[in-house]
């Protein structure tokens, strides 16, 4: 359903994004932000599923500034490699990778002619939260288990658009008390905690939890249907 296309950031940097087109005129557009494993088969499948639901989906490679063509699996070695690449991107001079996400938002808006939402997983969840607070052209944001977004500095940001956030209560990367503190700091955000581990949405990982993933999916689709209509 999808294919890679080249996008151009505001500073002229060219990077690939997986773009999945719906069969009919788009009902809206969704930018999908990768985990630390690249725009791999799982992220492409997520984008394709949004397209099957009628949304134009755009999944930019947020690793491209530090390493092109990253597609990792979920072994321990893959996780170490992904964490290193994430650290390299986070260490880029400001504004880092955010202009690439802005370019994906702008492309999604231009190609669909409709409102744009953003969803991201793990590191992509953190970037989704930052995008909701700093970038232009969004109408809704859905971070899944955004690593780091419950820290005091991140929780102090103010989103410009409605936010729906998903977390797992057994997530050893994101303590539940930090999620509860985030929810108190962001009373306007809709925050859900599931009986699941980190990565519960990914059906290629051992931490996949189908009931939680399906509930989160339904809430996400309803949220986008409401705010991107």
The catalytic residue positions are 122, 171, 198
Beta bridge partners of 191: 165
Q: How far apart are CA 153 and CA 4, in angstroms?
A: 35
Taking residue 144's Cβ as centre, other Cβ atoms within 10 Å add up to 27
72 touches 81 (CB < 8 A): yes
* Sequential DSSP letters for 164-209: EEEEETT-SSS-HHHHHHHHHH-TTSEEEEESS-TTTT-TTSTT--
Q: Tell me what percent of the chain is helix, strand and coil, each rounded to the nearest 5.
A: 40, 20, 40
């Amino acid at each position: 359903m999808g294919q890679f296309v080249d996008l151009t950031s505001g500073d002229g940097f060219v990077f690939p994004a997986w773009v999945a087109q719906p069969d009919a005129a788009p009902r809206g557009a969704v930018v999908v932000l990768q985990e630390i494993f690249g725009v791999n088969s799982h992220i492409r499948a997520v984008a394709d599923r949004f397209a099957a639901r009628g949304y134009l989906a755009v999944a930019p490679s947020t690793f491209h500034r530090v390493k092109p063509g990253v597609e990792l699996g979920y072994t321990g070695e893959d996780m170490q490699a992904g964490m290193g690449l994430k650290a390299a991107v986070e260490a880029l001079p400001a504004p880092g990778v955010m202009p690439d996400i802005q370019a994906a938002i702008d492309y999604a808006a231009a190609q669909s002619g409709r409102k744009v939402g953003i969803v991201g997983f793990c590191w992509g969840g953190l970037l989704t939260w930052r995008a909701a607070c700093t970038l232009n052209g969004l109408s809704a944001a859905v971070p899944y288990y955004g690593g780091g977004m419950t820290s005091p500095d991140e929780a102090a940001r103010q989103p410009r658009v409605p936010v729906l956030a998903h977390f797992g209560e057994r997530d050893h990367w994101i303590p539940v008390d930090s999620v509860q503190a985030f929810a108190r700091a962001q009373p306007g955000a809709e925050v859900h905690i599931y009986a699941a581990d980190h990565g519960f949405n990914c059906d290629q990982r051992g931490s996949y939890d189908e009931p939680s993933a399906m509930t989160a999916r339904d809430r996400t689709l309803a949220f986008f249907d409401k705010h991107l209509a």
